[in-house]
A and B are shown apart, each in its own frame.
Chain A
Amino acid sequence: MARLIGGIGSSHIPAIGNAIEKNAQSEPYWKPFFDGYKPVWKWLEKKKPDVAILVYNDHGLNFFLDKMPTFAMGAAPEYQNADEGWGLKPIDPIPGHPKMSWHLIDALVEDEFDLTICQEMLVDHGFTVPVSLMWPEPELRKHIKVIPLCVNVVQSPFPTARRCLKLGKAIGRAVASYEENLDVVILGTGGLSHQLDGARAGFINRDFDLEFLDKLKDEPEWLLQYSNYELAELTGTQGVEMIMWLIMRGALGKNVTEISRNYHIPISNTAAGVILFEKDA
């Protein structure tokens, strides 16, 4: 049977893609950020998961406001990146795992999570930046198959934090019922606090982010006390993306160990976070 071996929360800021492209990881601006990924690289290298479920949001590459699914899962043999309009160089296509996608879709819809099912979908920086971050060399990426789960955090109303945590738990059950013997990792991406739009652009809330990171392992329900509107106020209009980390956390279940974390301000306009949980055997 498939088993979830761990989960990673990570920001997905486009500037990271540019830094990787320019090989700028050791420059003073970037070093404190990329150093935070060293334990993650080591862990992924050691564990070599077969499949990654990548929770992210599309920022206007695949989905427009004409059709905006709350949750959309990919069921394609590969996922292509493309021009987003402002200069990030597309990365090579990433292989998917359609058989496992359909298993997850069947199980999740049965579990009353009515996903939009995508046999073709372009993936934007919300997906490709985490892939490049987790597996920095194309060589390291060869064995991994990725299943995208796209969440609407663009056009309000967004799913609630509670719904995200529940979806995560359902994903945990769905992975555990997959017949192939595969090791699976789940990535919750986006955040942490940041605001790109409005006169309050540049807003960051360090105290909130740190408390979120502190609570995520043992008390992820802590975030549920806030509505998405309150989260926009407290963490910035795009800080709300942290609800996608709850999907990752929910999937892992109770017994997890925190292997590493890093928090760094700023990357571009954002407070960047990364956290690695290993599921206890």
Chain B
Amino acid sequence: MTKKKARKPIPGTTIFDGRMAMKGYALNKMCYSFNEAANREAFRKDEDAYCDKYGITDEQRAAVKKRDVLKLLSLGGNIYYLAKLTGIFGLNMQDIGAQQSGVTLEEFKAKLLAAGEK
């Protein structure tokens, strides 16, 4: 068995494990429902009513309102399901990459390009 307690934390990283998967189950389930266009539309029309339907906690709901991906991750969100939520707001993986790492989209793209120029 891997001794989890002995693990050195990885900076800026949370492993999506059983603990997080339990914490974020309802949130991720709501996001999974956004595979259906009709559900995305229902969410757009009334975010609160849609969150109610899935039993989203107040803290998670506030983070959904702020489109705060880091916060949603800390509350158990998984990035693949969250991408379906942020897609509704017109934010793609690079937009949320920039948001999470605290830089502009241009800076985020420049950082990736620089990684290829080593």
List residues of chain A with CB under 8 Å of any chain B CB.
14, 59-61, 64-66, 82-87, 154-157, 195-204, 206, 227, 229, 232-233, 237, 264-266, 268-269, 271
Docked Cα-Cα span, A226 to B118, in Å, equals: 24
For B86, what are the chain A residues with a Cβ–Cβ distance below 8 Å? 86
List 24 interface pairs A-B (beta carbons < 8 Å), by A numbering.
A60-B32, A60-B35, A60-B81, A60-B84, A65-B29, A85-B84, A86-B84, A86-B86, A154-B78, A157-B17, A157-B18, A196-B97, A197-B13, A197-B16, A198-B14, A199-B12, A201-B96, A201-B101, A202-B108, A206-B115, A229-B15, A266-B112, A269-B97, A271-B116
Cβ of B73 < 8 Å from any Cβ of A? yes
- Knowing A197-B73, A266-B112, A269-B112, say if A206 contacts B118 (CB, 8 Å): yes
Instruction: Contact check, B83 vs A199: say whether CB atoms are below 8 A apart.
Output: no
Instruction: Contact check, B35 vs A268: say whether CB atoms are below 8 A apart.
Output: no
B96 closest partner in A (C-beta):
A201
User: Measured between C-beta atoms, what is the minimum distance from B17 to chain A in Å?
Assistant: 4
Instruction: Contact check, A232 vs B14: say whether CB atoms are below 8 A apart.
Output: no
User: Measured between C-beta atoms, what is the minimum distance from A231 to chain B in Å?
Assistant: 11
Cβ of B28 < 8 Å from any Cβ of A? yes
Binary interface profile of B, 91-118, with partner A (CB < 8 Å = 1, else 0)? 0111011001110000010011101101
Docked Cα-Cα span, A61 to B31, in Å, equals: 11
Docked Cα-Cα span, A64 to B36, in Å, equals: 14
Docked Cα-Cα span, A229 to B70, in Å, equals: 20
Cβ of B87 < 8 Å from any Cβ of A? yes
User: Measured between C-beta atoms, what is the minimum distance from B99 to chain A in Å?
Assistant: 8
Instruction: Contact check, A237 vs B97: say whether CB atoms are below 8 A apart.
Output: no
Instruction: Contact check, A229 vs B80: say whether CB atoms are below 8 A apart.
Output: no
Docked Cα-Cα span, A60 to B16, in Å, equals: 14
Q: How many residues of B contact A (CB 8 A)?
A: 49
- Knowing A64-B29, A227-B2, say if A59 contacts B94 (CB, 8 Å): no
Residue from B25, B29, B92 having most chain A Cβ neighbours under 10 A: B92
Which of the residues A84, A200, A237 comes within 8 Å of B84, measured between beta carbons? A84
Docked Cα-Cα span, A269 to B49, in Å, equals: 34
Instruction: Contact check, A198 vs B115: say whether CB atoms are below 8 A apart.
Output: no
Instruction: Contact check, B13 vs A198: say whether CB atoms are below 8 A apart.
Output: yes
A237 closest partner in B (C-beta):
B13
A84 closest partner in B (C-beta):
B35
Binary interface profile of B, 69-90, with partner A (CB < 8 Å = 1, else 0)? 1100100001111011011100
For B37, what are the chain A residues with a Cβ–Cβ distance below 8 Å? 83
Instruction: Contact check, B118 vs A200: say whether CB atoms are below 8 A apart.
Output: no
For B12, what are the chain A residues with a Cβ–Cβ distance below 8 Å? 198-201, 203
